[in-house]
Amino acid sequence: MKSAFNIDNPFFALMGRLADYVILNLLFLLTACPVITIGTALCAMHEVLPKMAEGTEGSLYRTYMQAFIRNFRRTVPVWMILLVTGVVLVFDVTIAADSLGSMQKIILPIIGSLLIFWLLIFSWVFLMENEPRIRQSADFGEKQGTDAEMGIRRKDVSGEKPDADFAGRVRHGRKIGIRGQIKAALFAAVTHLPQTLLMIILEVFPIFCYIFAIRFFLGIVLPFYVCIGFSLSAALCSILAGRTKIRPDRSNEDDPEGEADWSDEAKKDAKLPSAD
C-alpha cells in the first residue's frame, strides 16, 4: 500500500514527465506568440527535449529561456525566409486551385513540388540548430575538405560515430550562414527520408484536421495542442531524427561501454573480463 504513494512509483514518474511536457508546451506557445519567434521557440524546444529525456534539464523554465535567447539571432532570419515563402506558396496554391482553369494541371504540380521542398527544410532546420556536427557535415557553402575528411562527414550524417579529432574541429569550427543552414536541412531530410516523411505527417496533422474536419479540430485537436500537443509532437520528431533516445544511455566516463549494467553471466557470454 505504501508503494502506491511512493514518489518513485512509475505512475507518479509518468505524471511528472507529462507535467514537464505541459510546461514546455506552454513555454513554446508563449514565446511563439509574436510569430517572428516561432523558429526560435522550436529551436529552444528541440534543445530542451534531449535534456529532458536524460533528466539533465534542471530548471525547465531557465533552460528553455537560455536556449531561446541564445538561438534568437541565428534562427529569426531563417524563420522569416520560411514564413514568407510559405505564405507565398499557400497563396499560390489557393489561386491556382480556384482561377487557373486548364492551367491547373501545369501550375499545381510545380507549386506542390516547391511546397514539399519547403516541408523538407522546415522539418529539419530548427531541429538541427543545436547539432553542430550535422550542420557542418552538410555545409556545402564552405570549402570542402579532403576525401578522407568528407568520408568522415558522410559517416557522421549517417549516424556512425565520427572521428574524435574531426568532432573537435567541428565543435570549434565556423558557423554556417542561412544558405548553409537551409542546404544542411535539405540534405538531412533527403538522407533520412523515411523519418522525414513521418515528421511531416506529425507537423501537418493539425492543419489537415482544420481543413477537412473542422469540428474534430475544434473539439479535440486544438485543445490537445494547446495543452501538450506541440511538445509531444516535437519529442516524437526528435526521436525520429535520432536526437533523443527512448531509453537514455547510462554510460559515463568511468564506464564508457556501459559494462556496469551487465550481469556476470552476460559478461562471460560476451567474453568480457569480470569486475574482479
- State the residue for C-alpha cell 484536421: 209
Instruction: Provide the pLDDT for residue 199.
Output: 95
The model's confidence at residue 177, banded by pLDDT at 50, 70 and 90, is confident
pLDDT category at 194 given cuts 50, 70, 90 is very high
27-47 per-position pLDDT tens digit: 999 999 999 999 999 999 999
205 pLDDT exceeds 80?
yes
Tell me the pLDDT tens digit for each residue of 101-123.
666 777 888 888 999 999 999 99
Alpha-carbon distance of 171 to 227, in angstroms, equals 36
The CA distance from 167 to 169, in Å, is 5
Q: Tell me: the pLDDT tens digits for 219-229? A: 999 999 999 99
* pLDDT score of 254: 43
Q: Specify the pLDDT at position 102.
A: 67
Dihedral sign of CA atoms 73, 206, 201, 227 in order: positive
| Helix, strand, coil abundance in the chain, percent, nearest 5 | 75, 0, 25
Residues in the chain: 276
What's residue 133's pLDDT?
47
Non-local CB neighbours of 46 within 8 Å, separated by 6+ positions: 126, 127, 129, 130, 234, 237, 238, 243
Residue 93 clears pLDDT 50, i.e. is over it: yes
Q: pTM of the prediction? A: 0.72
Q: Is 77 in contact with 181 (CB distance < 8 Å)? A: no
Q: How far is 87 from 106, CA to CA, in rounded Å? A: 20
Query: What is the pLDDT at residue 38?
Result: 96
**Is residue 58 over pLDDT 70?**
yes
Q: How far apart are CA 86 and CA 92, in angstroms?
A: 10
What pLDDT shows up at residue 217? 92
- 245 pLDDT tier (thresholds 50, 70, 90): low
Burial of 158 (0-12, 13-18, 19+ CB in 10 A): exposed
Task: Judge whether residue 201 has pLDDT over 50.
Answer: yes
User: Percent of the chain scored above 90 by pLDDT?
Assistant: 45
